[in-house]
Structure 1
Amino acid sequence: MSDQSKSVHQFKVKFINGTEKKLSEYKNKVLLIVNIASGCGFAPQLHELQKLREQIGVDDFEILGFPSNDFGRQEPLEGEAIATFCEVNYGVQFPVFEKIMVRGEQAHPLFKFLTQSSTPRWNFHKYLINKDGEVVDYFFPFTKPLSSKVKKKIQRLF
Structure 2
Amino acid sequence: MSSLADIPLTRIDGSFDTLGDHRGKVLLVVNVASKCGLTPQYEGLEALYRRFKDQGFEVLGFPANDFGGQEPGSNTEIADFCSVNYNVSFPLFAKADVTGLEKQPLYAALTAEMPMKQGDAAAWREKLRGYGMTPTEDPEVLWNFEKFLIGRDGRVAARFSPAVTPDDMALVGAIEVELAKAG
TM-score for the superposition, normalised by structure 1:
0.93
- From 141, 153, 158, the equivalent of 2:174 is 153
**Which consecutive aligned stretches of 4+ in structure 1 deviate over 6 angstroms post-superposition?**
none
Range 28-37 or range 115-124, more displaced? 115-124
Deviations 1:25-74 (CA, angstroms, capped at 9, x unpaired): 11100000000000111000001000011111244110000000001110
Higher-Rg structure is 2
Question: Where in structure 2 are the equivalents of 1:37-48 lying within 5 Å?
Answer: 37-48=33-44
What fraction of aligned residue pairs are identical, expressed as a percent?
A: 41
What is the match of residue 132 of structure 1?
Answer: 153
CA distance in 2, matches of 1:43, 1:109: 24
List alignment gaps of at least 5 residues for structure 2: 116-139
- From 14, 20, 25, the equivalent of 2:16 is 20
CA distance in 2, matches of 1:58, 1:121: 31
What is the match of residue 103 of structure 2?
Answer: 107
Q: RMSD across aligned C-alpha pairs, in angstroms?
A: 1.2
Q: Which amino acid aligns with 2:155?
A: E
TM-score for the superposition, normalised by structure 2:
0.81
Query: How many residue pairs get matched?
Result: 154
What is the match of residue 57 of structure 2?
Answer: 61
CA shift in 2, pair 1:57/1:17, >3 Å: closer
Which structure's residues are more often helix, by fraction?
2
